[in-house]
Every structure is written in structure tokens, then in C-alpha cells.
Amino acid sequence: MSAERPDLAALLAPLLRELMAAEQPVLDAHGVSMWGYVVLLALDETPMRSQAVLAQAIGADKTRIIRTLDDLQDRGYIERTPDPDDRRVRLLSITGAGRRLKDAVQADIQRGEEQWLGELSTEERRVFLRVLQRLAPAPD
């Protein structure tokens, strides 16, 4: 390996900090927390998940996301239904209102990302996004 380039984390961390800072006002404007948005994204990809499976998929402690799940359910963004195979388990799914909120937040976030993506040519953008998707860990 060569020391001609910085480590990946050193390259990505400043960009990630800027991206997350830019997302916070969008989340605030839509009245959703970062964890709430992450939950909605995950449930939109795979609709029926138990709390434990969801927590593992998003990298959260299953007991620590209870408040987020309660808030999303109280606001009509997710539903919890008993698992027919195990009544102690609740299956989570996104509602139509939750999907609309997720879509609106995602659209606003992606609009803001143009500040960074706009620095790239069309080809660079295509390659950059493809590489990020390839390197990103696959969801559980």
C-alpha cells in the first residue's frame, strides 16, 4: 500500500459530517429525527420487520429505538402488528403517510446534495454513485 493518498475514512469523514449537518435542517423542517428517517427508509425497503431485525439492519440497539418507534406510530407513520407466528413479536411496516414523509424528506435531502454532486461532471457523478453503492455494505 502507498501513503500517496489519505485513508478512506480521512477522505470521507469530513464530507459525511457536512452531509449530516446539511440534513439536520431538512429533518427539523419535516418534524422527524434522524433515527425516525432511518427507520422509515429501512421499512420502505423491507416492509415487515420485527423490532429486533430492524434494529440490527440500521445498527441501533433494539431497546433504544422504542421511543422512535412509539413516536412514528403515534404520528401514523408506521404500524405495529402482532406476528401470527409469535404473538410476543410485533411486525413493523410503513404507512402511506410514512412513505409520503420519507419521500418528501429524501427529495429535500437529495436536492441539497446537489451542492456536492454539482461539482462533478455527469460521468464522474455516475461513477461516484455507482462506486458508493458497490462499496456500501448490503442491508441485512
CATH of the domain at 63: 1.10.10.10
At residue 86 the predicted structure's pLDDT band, cuts being 50, 70 and 90, is: confident
Is residue 43 scored above 90 in pLDDT? yes
Domain membership of residue 114 (yes or no) is yes
Domain membership of residue 52 (yes or no) is yes
More confident residue, 133 or 99: 99
Structurally, how many domains does the chain consist of?
1
What confidence score (pLDDT) does residue 139 get? 59
d(Cα 4, Cα 18) in Å, to the nearest integer?
25
**Cα of 66 vs its chain's centroid, Å:** 17
Find out whether 39 and 95 touch, Cβ atoms under 8 Å. no
- Residue 52 structural domain: 8-135
Domain membership of residue 140 (yes or no) is no
| Residues whose CB falls within 8 Å of the CB of residue 112, separated by 6 or more in sequence, listed in order | 22, 23, 26
